[in-house]
């Protein structure tokens, strides 16, 4: 598949004072967000971190009068907090904040090694030339998987597969606006919320089973991402609702 040689047209709208945060998505979730019919409009992430407190453990309902929740921070200190304050600490943002999606992508460039004084050795470093060469970033979710060489090759300039974590802001094609944030138990998800998570009948873990439901399909999806026992634990999760701004 020959990569296109075109000037990129991706340009995000600029709005003063809007808070932006990155959000990692795997390929199937990217496809679900981009669907025209019944697109993904919610995401659930475990409550393991609070803005201003860092990593937390043991989130639960508080017995202290005037407070709704308690949790332990990374130093194992207990904190009491109101529900409103807990929502303000959501690491994914607040109402009207923006999320830019990071996904597996392909960038035009080459590999080189650079000496790391901190580690005392040479390390591979990717030199991204995509925008400078007038090309677009490409995306694995669009079936561009044949573009990358199987391993790093010094000095070879071409499209290279890059993990979602290393996607620069300029390469992101999907922009979301948060429309709501809440905290709930994972297993409290409703049928409508399961559909809003992007599941379809094609996500049936047991094709042809008459007991299929959107909730069962979402349970299968959650376990495929977080591990076999992750659903049974029934953790507290952030339920983040959003609408797609771009594309």
pLDDT, tens digit, 9 for 90 and up, residues 57-85:
999 999 999 999 999 999 999 999 999 99
Q: What is the pLDDT of residue 212?
A: 79
Q: What is the pLDDT of residue 151?
A: 75
Residues 103-155: tens digit of each pLDDT: 999 999 999 999 989 889 999 999 999 999 999 999 999 986 677 777 777 88
> How many Cα atoms within 13 Å fall on the side-chain side of residue 173?
20
**Does residue 14 register a pLDDT over 90?**
no
| Measured distance CA(181)–CA(186) in Å, rounded | 14
Return the higher-pLDDT residue of 2 and 29: 29
**Does residue 5 register a pLDDT over 60?**
no
Q: What percentage of the chain reaches a pLDDT higher than 70?
A: 88
| CATH 3.10.400.10 for domain 28-51+90-100+174-246 | yes
Residue (of 94, 99, 49, 40) closest to 73 by Cα position: 49
The whole-chain average pLDDT of the chain stands at 89
Where do the structural domains in the chain lie, given as residue ranges? 28-51+90-100+174-246, 104-171
| Measured distance CA(139)–CA(162) in Å, rounded | 9
H/E run at residue 80: strand 78-81
Q: What is the pLDDT of residue 194?
A: 96
Q: What is the pLDDT of residue 221?
A: 92
**Does residue 228 register a pLDDT over 70?**
yes
CA dist list (Å): 221 to 145, 224, 225:
23, 5, 6
Return the higher-pLDDT residue of 76 and 16: 76
Q: What mean pLDDT comes out for the span 188-202?
A: 92
Q: What is the pLDDT of residue 8?
A: 41
């Amino acid at each position: 598949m020959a990569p296109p040689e075109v000037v990129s047209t991706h340009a995000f709208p600029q709005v003063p004072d809007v808070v932006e945060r990155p959000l990692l998505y795997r390929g199937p979730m990217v496809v679900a967000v981009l669907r025209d019919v019944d697109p993904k409009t919610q995401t659930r992430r475990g409550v393991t971190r609070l803005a201003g407190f860092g990593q937390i453990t043991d989130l639960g309902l508080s017995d202290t009068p005037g407070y709704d929740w308690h949790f332990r921070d990374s130093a194992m200190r207990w904190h009491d907090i109101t529900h409103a304050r807990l929502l303000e600490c959501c690491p994914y943002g607040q109402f009207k904040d923006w999320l830019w999606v990071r996904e597996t992508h392909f960038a035009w460039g080459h590999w080189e090694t650079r000496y790391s004084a901190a580690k005392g050795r040479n390390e591979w470093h990717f030199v991204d030339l995509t925008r400078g060469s007038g090309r677009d970033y490409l995306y694995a979710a669009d079936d561009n998987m044949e573009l990358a060489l199987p391993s790093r090759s010094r000095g070879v300039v071409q499209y290279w597969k890059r993990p979602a974590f290393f996607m620069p802001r300029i390469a992101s094609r999907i922009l979301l606006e948060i429309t709501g944030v809440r905290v709930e138990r994972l297993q409290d998800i409703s049928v409508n919320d399961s559909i809003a998570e992007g599941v379809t009948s094609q996500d049936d873990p047991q094709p042809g089973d008459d007991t299929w439901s959107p909730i069962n399909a979402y349970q299968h999806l959650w376990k495929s991402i977080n591990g076999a026992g992750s659903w049974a634990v029934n953790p507290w999760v952030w339920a983040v609702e959003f609408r797609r701004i771009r594309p």
